[in-house]
Chain A
Amino acid sequence: MSKANEGYHGSADYIASKPLMEIVNVSVNLAKPLVIKGEPGTGKTLLAHSIAEALKKKLLIWNIKSTTKAKDGLYVYDTVQRLNDARFKDKDISDIRAYIKLGRLGQAFASDEQVVLLIDEVDKADIEFPNDLLNELDEMSFHITELNEEVAAKQRPIVVITSNSEKELPDAFLRRCIFYYIEFPDEQMMESIIRVHYPDIQDKVVRECIKKFYWIRQVDGLRKKPSTSELLDWIKALAMGGVNVDRISSELPFLGTLLKTEQDTEKVARVASGSSSGFRRRF
């Protein structure tokens, strides 16, 4: 029990739920990668920042793009540079080390102190990407073929992996991780989140906005449900536009900040005016 009393408890600017805190602590203690999933705007990425801040560790961020290869995170051997240098003979090319650059994962392993490694939006990459990292995350070491050297983690990094579920992650990968799904915040939680950002806006306005926001989210068949960041933008727009509360409930001003596609805007407008929508041709 003593272990749960120390360790991660959230940080000043991040409110973590109790279960999430427990799970962060378990994953830190058992040195297992933590996979965080959830809708956009539920604070997945911020969690890693918060862990790093709370535990006073350095944070390394590896942003994944669609073209990212697993090997990029370990090391890159800059062959072209070396070839180029060889051609002009103005540099010493005999030291291959000068052309091997560690990637984020490599840096995390090589670091003398324990670091927090955030692998952000892992689902952006190719479907096979996480599987290519299995061994490295399991053993916390990898081999540099060019040097015939092993890079092993001096301190096992705390690995946080976020996923937007654009693609599903492979089972073999997930089996080795701890998984947590951050639910979309409920109305109460949302209010405290808004308060953190805009402490000065009237309660009445905030509450009305939240009410409308959750109403829009439950409209069936939206292409993209608005998330926290859109709500924050909306409230800001409303506050700056000086819209009064009655107008918010009656006509949904600045809807464009919440909904990003024309179809969605139309759909919400249609539902708001009471008629139903349809793909139906005939009955």
Chain B
Amino acid sequence: MFIDFFYKLRSKGVPVSITEWMSFMEAIYKGFMGTSLNHLYYIGRAFLVKSEAYYDQFDLAFNEFFGGISTEPLDLEKVMEWLENPINKLPKLSPEELEEMKRTLEEMKEKMGLEEMLKQFRERLKEQQERHDGGAKWIGTGGRSPFGAYGYYPGGIRVGGEGWMGSAVKVAEERRFKNYRHDLILDVRQTKVALKKLRQLRREGAEEELDIDETIDKTAKEGGEIELVFAKSRKNAIRLLLLMDTGGSMAPYADLCERLFSAAVQSEHFKDLKYFFFHNCVYQDVYEDLWNAKPIPLEKVLATYHSGYKVILVGDARMGPGELFDKYGCIDYYYSNEIAGADWLKRIKNHYEYSVWLNPTPREYWRHPTVDAIGRQFPMYELTLDGLKDAIKALTSKVKRAAA
């Protein structure tokens, strides 16, 4: 039933699983869909979509799939008269009958599209002269015709019961959940949630958990004299080094970077978080402040923060090729670098086991010599929630990257 809707959802990127689809089907067969598209919309959403991030995709799919129905001018008043208060309850169908019905539906689908079905529906509506319950052709309740409510017909069109039909489609059309999508830019809270995934648990700190095995062992050894043994609790051992570009071309993304920055600083679960800023490209100095007034030699950074730190570089990676590849290439005339930016980046990459580059510009604009060059050095991800998640996955993966 509605299996096309399932594929429609998948094609929109809603990760619906078979388990979820089956429980949804169970709900339908048990008659919880009530009689309207609204039930189908809300209950379907509750069963099939497990994060508000996908509500928008669900709305889109729902609208595409069912939207056409409500725009058809059905004679609802008349239909509802028939449909109210079913005289006979749902017929108990054997699995074979269900199978047969599904087959019929498939045949029917092949024979005629949805439009054809609607046309038939309207024709039958015209033919139909009296209330009809049961049976397999007419619109009515409890029947097995593809049209009507309470029926068992898989894939059939449901005709609204409670008079809130149409509004589900309207809700879907409104796309109120657009802002919850994951592939849009992040807010601070979402970013914090994503950063929570960045962790490695190690036992350290004060010994506060009772280690039962050890306690029993020790007590037995002491001949029954109770000896309590405590173990250290598990804590996140992630150390993070954040390097952010504050260059001019980053200005349009300032807000976005600010959010990432706030989230990282507010996250309290890191063992250590250090952040530095750079301008366009990293040279021999990075800066402790946004205004590049307090330089600190990169050499010192590399020496102070050992290779266990995970490194996130944030920048658009877009600059004049000279700024990246040439000695003395820095855009600031008063600053001279004897080693090219690309070499400094290589040193960062070689020093740290895990490093990623987050790029706030959308992927489709990445084609640029310096972006490509940096992308070959560091795994590069978009600065969106999905991109951030992938980046964090890369930072915590157990498999070491092959050295470039």
Contacts and interface: CB of A to CB of B under 8 A. Distances in A.
Contacts, number: 108
A176 B17 CA distance: 10
8 closest A-B pairs (Cβ-Cβ)?
A: A174-B50, A19-B42, A279-B258, A181-B52, A279-B254, A179-B50, A23-B46, A178-B46
Interface string A13-51: 000001100110111011010010100000000000000
21 contacts: A1-B35, A1-B86, A3-B31, A22-B39, A26-B46, A29-B30, A30-B26, A84-B226, A87-B225, A87-B226, A127-B196, A165-B193, A169-B50, A175-B17, A179-B49, A181-B55, A223-B188, A223-B266, A279-B258, A281-B291, A283-B248
A166 interface: yes
Interface of B: 15, 17, 19-20, 23, 26-27, 30-32, 34-35, 38-39, 42-43, 46-47, 49-52, 55, 86, 150, 161, 164, 176, 180, 188-189, 193, 196-197, 210, 212, 215, 219, 224-226, 228, 246, 248, 251, 254-255, 257-259, 261-262, 266, 290-292
Interface residues of A, number: 45
Nearest to A4: B34
| Prevailing SS type, chain B contact patch | helix
Contacts of A30: 23, 26-27, 30, 32
A19 B246 CA distance: 47
Given A1-B86, A4-B34, A179-B51, A166 B193 contact: yes
Given A181-B55, A281-B292, A221 B49 contact: no
Contacts of B219: 83
Given A1-B31, A279-B257, 15 more contacts: A1-B35, A3-B32, A23-B42, A30-B32, A80-B228, A83-B219, A127-B196, A166-B193, A166-B196, A167-B193, A171-B17, A174-B50, A179-B47, A279-B255, A281-B246
Contacts of B254: 278-280
B251 A26 contact: no
Contacts of B193: 165-168
Contacts of B55: 181
Contacts of B189: 165
Contacts of B50: 35, 169, 171, 174-175, 177, 179
A135 interface: no
A126 B31 CA distance: 37
A1 B212 contact: no
| Prevailing SS type, chain A contact patch | mixed
A79 interface: yes
Given A30-B30, A180-B46, A1 B161 contact: yes
A279 B277 CA distance: 12
Given A87-B226, A179-B46, A181-B52, A281 B31 contact: no
A204 interface: no
Interface string A214-235: 0000001101000000000000
B52 A281 contact: no
Contacts of A282: 248
